[in-house]
Chain A
Amino acid sequence: MDFTYDDEQDALRDAVRGLIGKAYGDYEKRRQTTKEDPGFDEKVWTQLAEMGLLGLPFSEEDGGVGAGPVEIGIVCQELGRVIAPEPYLSSVVLAGGLVSAVGTPEQRQEILGALSSGESVLAFAHAEPGSRWSDSASAVTASQDGDSWTVSGTKDPVLHGARADVLIVSAALSDGGTGLFVVQGTDVADEGRTGFATYDGGRAARVTFDATAATPLGTAGADVTASIAIVHDITRIMAANQSLGAMETLLAQTTDYLKSRKQFGVTLNTFQALTFRAADMYTSQELTHSLVDWATMVVAAGKPEEVADAAARVGLQVSRGGRHVGQEAIQLHGGIGMTAEYSVGMYTAHLTALDHLLGDAGRHLRVLDATLDEHGVIDPLDRS
């Protein structure tokens, strides 16, 4: 049992921090970048590709690097630390993860190769209005005519759905179950893709398919709901890594502010009412850190049924801890924390977005409720 990074992992973290820190260490750069479409910096995306980060999770045969969940977690934490707007989570971890899990060898090489090299941005078109984190599709349906397939219906929100070169689309199959399809961005009518900015400076789109040409990802007609569930769970855990990075920055900025801001002729850290609240933020952060490390290691240990449980557990903690740290960061800053110019409000907005992306505390509680009667004490070490 070991909670520390090895030398290579430390080096990876330093390298990512160096690159991303240069791009967004100054919050104003993030703010300017997210003001205009596509909402992220294509140059930074290319740099991430050059560093091998976009191919990190994928096997070498597929054009990737073949790194493990711990490495992906490190990248996500660093991106979270500066709330980098690049679509790493949605394009690489989620959409790329699905291609890796379900695609044929040829599809993996082609799609993941282009993703890893930075040539192509992927999006997972899955959520449907009102679907609330389901692993299956219902409003978007697939139709087969001989060897050719089409998809129809509306997906919303699709993260980076307007910019994406390739969409991985989930659709209800006529025989039941959910299939995944590859749709080229160019095959979707322009009026079918309505992009919008999210409240945290990100980008998403409403995408309407109308008998749009689609290629089955993996075996045609196969129900891949279980694969979607697993990749969702892994993405939840990586989103938790990203949230942890953001929480750490929020606390660091709050303590800096308490030490420098003066009122009544003294710095704010003179007031115990404030420093005690900062101490409680630290407690939330550290408990979150522990569960994030653990859940990431559960993924590394590779047992899908345990990954689902770990994803719900870390999700629950991140939901509680992230809201606590975000809300307190704004409160302890006072008025300045309310402004768009200053970073803590946007960090809190981003934590809120991540919280609702793949399930909030309520969703995780419901998942954990199903197994509550099946265990006595929980033993974190018994899992591998």
Chain B
Amino acid sequence: MQLQLSAEDEKFRDEMRTFFTTEVSEEIRTTVAEGRELTKEQIVESQQTLNKAGLAVPHWPEEYGGRGWSDLQRHIWNEEMQAACVPIPLAFNASMIGPVLAQFGSKEQKDEFLPKTANLDIWWSQGFSEPDAGSDLAGLRTTAVKDGDDYIVNGQKTWTTLGQYGDWIFTLVRTDPEVKKQAGISMLLIDMRSEGLEVRPIELIDGGHEVNEVWFTDVRVPAKNLVGEENSGWTQAKFLLGNERVGVAPVGSTKRVLARAKELGAALVKDDPLLRARIIELENELLALELTALRVVAHSEGGEPHPASSVLKLKGTELQQAVSELVVDLGGPDTLASGEAGDTESWYRRSTPTYLNLRKASIYGGSNEVQRQIISRTILGL
């Protein structure tokens, strides 16, 4: 038991902190600090800055840009990045399809896609959820039927985040309707410019356009774009959803937002014991969460994830939401105004849309009810 970082990790942290606070565009970091929306160009620029320095995909195999870091180093990388208001590398590329292709892809697929994926030259979208397949993902119905050297894809995906920017979409499709539902699924890589593919926006409760429907009508996909074997898609999907131990809970960014809320609301917070108690409780729970994340990374070197990792998503999203709620309450009646006023003082105008938007956090990535199910079944054996 030892609280201090090793000298090596301490040095590593300093390097990360220096890089993130000096090499990533100030304008981008200010945008994140103020809670404003990033443009596609800013997200790409930021990831390319990281990638050039070997900091975009450190967890990938080393031949494709990975760094062979320990889980603790990855944790430090992730936390320092969030603390410095640097946008984390696009999850669809860096955390989802990249590791899947590195693990299951053909040599051709790896060479073709991985460098561009790391550098965000290709923007990936995720084609998993369907109108009738949410938490019950294996119930998906989008079909792919072999036709010569191609698959013909028909169906509909939904909740495709930032699909309006997508170049390619990794898509779970049903290739065998006769077998048990998990056994008939495949993963296809689909060019979003393909004929018959249409992206339709969904307007959300925060007034924004973050997610989309993606419709497939007789979309022709070359069979070489199948990942792994036909009907092995469930294995890849489980790998994609379950291989993450680092960065499961958005600790760094939630801490940063809470600290900023304290700063912005200082005049109000100063003399209000109820607000102060609420902030102290949130700070303490975030501390407990961060320490749990550290326990998880410290325990999971090269092995199975620590059982407590399931707590991270559950508690991490709850706290993210609770902090966003605090910000709205600090703004009070001023928050009724909406839309950008174009100045840094108008944080309260963004507070309620952010609060509403973050209701998603306990729904996506395995809803918090699914997390409770995992805890009670897998950990408690109930």
For B285, the chain A residues whose CB sits under 8 A away are 287, 317
B287 touches A3 (CB 8 A): no
B380 touches A378 (CB 8 A): no
B291 touches A365 (CB 8 A): no
**What's the least CB distance linking A314 to chain B, in Å?**
9
A278 touches B280 (CB 8 A): no
Interface 9-mer from A43-51, A112-120, A367-375:
A367-375
B1 touches A5 (CB 8 A): yes
A283 touches B259 (CB 8 A): no
B382 touches A275 (CB 8 A): yes
For B141, the chain A residues whose CB sits under 8 A away are none
For B9, the chain A residues whose CB sits under 8 A away are 1
Interface membership of chain B positions 3-23, coded 1 if the CB is closer than 8 angstroms to chain A and 0 otherwise: 111100100010000000000
Near B by CB (< 8 A), chain A positions 356-374 give 365, 368-369, 372-373
Q: Is A338 an interface residue (CB 8 A)?
A: no
A293 touches B295 (CB 8 A): yes
For B4, the chain A residues whose CB sits under 8 A away are 1, 301, 381, 384
For B379, the chain A residues whose CB sits under 8 A away are 282
Residues of B in contact (CB 8 Å), total 54
What residue in chain B is nearest A6 (Cβ atoms)? B1
**What's the least CB distance linking B205 to chain A, in Å?**
26
For B3, the chain A residues whose CB sits under 8 A away are 1, 294, 297-298, 300-301, 380-381, 383-384
A378 touches B291 (CB 8 A): no
CA distance A83 to B1 in the complex (A): 25
The residue that A282 contacts in the complex, of B287, B311, B369, with Cβ under 8 A, is B311
For B295, the chain A residues whose CB sits under 8 A away are 3, 289-290, 293
B255 touches A1 (CB 8 A): no
Interface centre among B279, B280, B381 (most CB of A within 10 A): B280
Q: Is B198 an interface residue (CB 8 A)?
A: no
Residues A276 and B369 in contact in the complex (CB < 8 Å), given A288-B288, A372-B276, A377-B259: yes
A279 touches B1 (CB 8 A): no
A276 touches B376 (CB 8 A): yes
For B6, the chain A residues whose CB sits under 8 A away are 1
**What's the least CB distance linking A245 to chain B, in Å?**
16
B292 touches A297 (CB 8 A): no
**What's the least CB distance linking B306 to chain A, in Å?**
9
Q: Is A376 an interface residue (CB 8 A)?
A: yes
B72 touches A1 (CB 8 A): yes
What residue in chain A is nearest B375 (Cβ atoms)? A279
For B288, the chain A residues whose CB sits under 8 A away are 287-288, 290-291, 317
Near A by CB (< 8 A), chain B positions 274-304 give 276-277, 279-281, 283-292, 294-295, 298-299
A4 touches B1 (CB 8 A): yes
Interface membership of chain A positions 248-272, coded 1 if the CB is closer than 8 angstroms to chain B and 0 otherwise: 0001000100110000000001001
Majority-rule SS of A interface residues: helix
Q: Is A2 an interface residue (CB 8 A)?
A: yes
Near A by CB (< 8 A), chain B positions 359-382 give 369, 371-373, 375-377, 379-382
Near A by CB (< 8 A), chain B positions 324-381 give 369, 371-373, 375-377, 379-381
**What's the least CB distance linking A296 to chain B, in Å?**
7
**What's the least CB distance linking A380 to chain B, in Å?**
6
CA distance A381 to B251 in the complex (A): 14
Q: Is B2 an interface residue (CB 8 A)?
A: yes
For B308, the chain A residues whose CB sits under 8 A away are 286, 289-290
Interface membership of chain B positions 301-330, coded 1 if the CB is closer than 8 angstroms to chain A and 0 otherwise: 000000010010011000000000000000
Q: Is A98 an interface residue (CB 8 A)?
A: no
Q: Is B270 an interface residue (CB 8 A)?
A: yes
For A293, the chain B residues whose CB sits under 8 A away are 1, 291, 295
Residues A275 and B376 in contact in the complex (CB < 8 Å), given A283-B311, A293-B1, A369-B277: yes
Q: Is A14 an interface residue (CB 8 A)?
A: no
A296 touches B382 (CB 8 A): no
The residue that B382 contacts in the complex, of A255, A290, A301, with Cβ under 8 A, is A255
Q: Is B181 an interface residue (CB 8 A)?
A: no
Q: Is B110 an interface residue (CB 8 A)?
A: no
Interface centre among A3, A5, A378 (most CB of B within 10 A): A3
What residue in chain B is nearest A383 (Cβ atoms)? B3
Q: Is A203 an interface residue (CB 8 A)?
A: no
What residue in chain A is nearest B13 (Cβ atoms)? A381
What residue in chain A is nearest B288 (Cβ atoms)? A287
Residues A279 and B294 in contact in the complex (CB < 8 Å), given A317-B284, A369-B277: no
The residue that A287 contacts in the complex, of B270, B298, B311, B382, with Cβ under 8 A, is B311
For A289, the chain B residues whose CB sits under 8 A away are 292, 295, 308
CA distance A369 to B272 in the complex (A): 11
B280 touches A369 (CB 8 A): yes
For A279, the chain B residues whose CB sits under 8 A away are 371-373, 375-376, 380
For B273, the chain A residues whose CB sits under 8 A away are 369
The residue that B314 contacts in the complex, of A1, A278, A283, A381, with Cβ under 8 A, is A283
Interface membership of chain B positions 111-125, coded 1 if the CB is closer than 8 angstroms to chain A and 0 otherwise: 000000000000000
CA distance A287 to B251 in the complex (A): 14
Interface membership of chain A positions 83-116, coded 1 if the CB is closer than 8 angstroms to chain B and 0 otherwise: 0000000000000000000000000000000000
Residues A294 and B380 in contact in the complex (CB < 8 Å), given A300-B3, A376-B263: no
Q: Is A280 an interface residue (CB 8 A)?
A: yes
Q: Is B245 an interface residue (CB 8 A)?
A: no
For B259, the chain A residues whose CB sits under 8 A away are 376-377
- 18 more contacts with CB within 8 A, not counting A5-B1, A287-B292, are A3-B298, A3-B299, A258-B382, A275-B376, A275-B377, A275-B380, A278-B376, A279-B376, A287-B285, A290-B289, A290-B308, A300-B1, A317-B284, A365-B277, A376-B262, A380-B291, A381-B4, A383-B3
Task: List A residues at the B interface (Cβ < 8 Å).
Answer: 1-6, 9, 70, 251, 255, 258-259, 269, 272, 275-276, 278-280, 282-283, 286-291, 293-294, 296-298, 300-301, 313, 316-317, 365, 368-369, 372-373, 376-378, 380-381, 383-384
List, sorted by A's number, 18 A–B pairs whose CB atoms are closer than 8 Å.
A2-B1, A2-B2, A2-B298, A6-B1, A258-B382, A259-B381, A275-B377, A287-B288, A290-B295, A291-B291, A293-B1, A294-B291, A368-B280, A369-B273, A377-B258, A378-B287, A380-B291, A381-B4
